Amino acid sequence: MKRKLEDKMKFVMNSFASYKFKGIFLVLIINSLYGVFDIAIQTGFFNGLYSIYNSPWYNAILFLCLFVNTLNICDLYKKNYSVIIRHKTKKNHHAEMFGILLISNILVFILSLMLTCIPLFFKYLGDFSINTSINGINVLLYLIYHLCRYTIIISLLSLIIYCIFVLINSISSLLFSILLALSLIMYPISYTIETHFKIFFGYYLLFPQYENMTLDIHYSLLLILILVVIVTLLFQIVIYSRRDIGK
C-alpha cells in the first residue's frame, strides 16, 4: 500500500515538471493576484479570502486550471506504456488513475490556495480579525467547511472528466471542462435565501445562500452523493468498455 502511494506521488511530482504544468502554474499565479487585487476592501484576511472564493471569474479560471491538469495527467499516463502494462486488469489501471488524479488535483488546489493567501496576507498586513458570521458560524469555520466541500466537488468532477477522456476523447473532455468553467461565470448569482435543493454544482462553489447551516450541509452532501453515483456508474462503464488501455 505504501509502495503504491509512493509510486502515485512520484508520478504526480514528475507531472509537475512538465511544460503544460508550468503553464498551469503561471495561470494560477496570475489568477491569485487577480483575486486578491480585484476584491473590494474587506476587514481582515478571512473576510478577504471569503470574497475571493465568491468571485465567479476566480473560480472559473481555477476550475479550468484543475481540469487542464486532469487532462495533462491523463495524457502523460497514456504515454507511459511501462506503467500501463504492469496492471493486470483495466479495473486496476483506472483505479490507479483515479488515485493519481485525486492526489494531483488536491495538491494543485492547495498550491492555488497558498498562492492566494500569500499576497492576501500582505494586503491586510496580518489582520486575522474575525467579525463576520455565515449561516450562524464565524467566517473562519465556514471557510474551512467550504474549502473541504470545494475540494470534494472538484475532485469528483475531475474523475468525470477522466471518464469522458477514456470513453470518448481528449477534445470532448476539454470542451466539457470549458463548459463547466464557463457555467460558473454565466450562472446568475442570486443572494436570495434558498430553502430548496440546487442541482447546479457551481452554486456550492460560490457560497450557497441557504436559510441555515443544516440545509447548507444537507444539500451539499446530497450533491456530493449524486456526483459519487455518477462517478461510480461511469467507472463501471469505463471498465467494461472495449477501448484499450492507453488508447
Grid cell, residue 62, equals 481555477
Grid cell, residue 182, equals 464557463
In three-state secondary structure terms, 137 is strand
Residues 243/167, Cβ–Cβ less than 8 Å? yes
Predicted confidence at residue 245, as pLDDT, reads 45
pLDDT digits (tens, 9 = 90+) for 133-167: 776 778 888 889 999 999 999 999 999 998 888 88
Closest by CA position to 42, among listed 99, 123, 117, 115? 123
* Amino acid symbol at 178: I
Counting DSSP H helices and E strands in the chain, the numbers are 9, 2
Q: Which long-range contacts (CB under 8 A, 24 or more apart) does 178-181 make?
A: 178/64, 180/63, 180/67, 181/60, 181/61, 181/63, 181/64, 181/67
Predicted confidence at residue 247, as pLDDT, reads 47
Residues 216/197, Cβ–Cβ less than 8 Å? no
Grid cell, residue 114, equals 497558498
Bridging pattern class, strands 137-138 and 133-134: antiparallel
Closest by CA position to 107, among listed 10, 7, 12, 29? 12
Predicted confidence at residue 65, as pLDDT, reads 92
In three-state secondary structure terms, 133 is strand
- pLDDT per position in the chain (247 positions), as tens? 666 677 777 778 878 888 888 999 999 999 999 988 887 666 678 888 888 888 889 999 998 999 889 888 888 877 765 555 455 677 777 888 888 899 999 999 999 999 999 998 888 776 777 766 776 778 888 889 999 999 999 999 999 998 888 888 778 888 888 898 888 888 766 666 777 888 888 888 876 677 788 888 999 999 999 999 999 999 989 888 755 544 4
Predicted confidence at residue 2, as pLDDT, reads 65
Q: What is the DSSP letter of 209?
A: -
Q: What is the DSSP letter of 134?
A: E
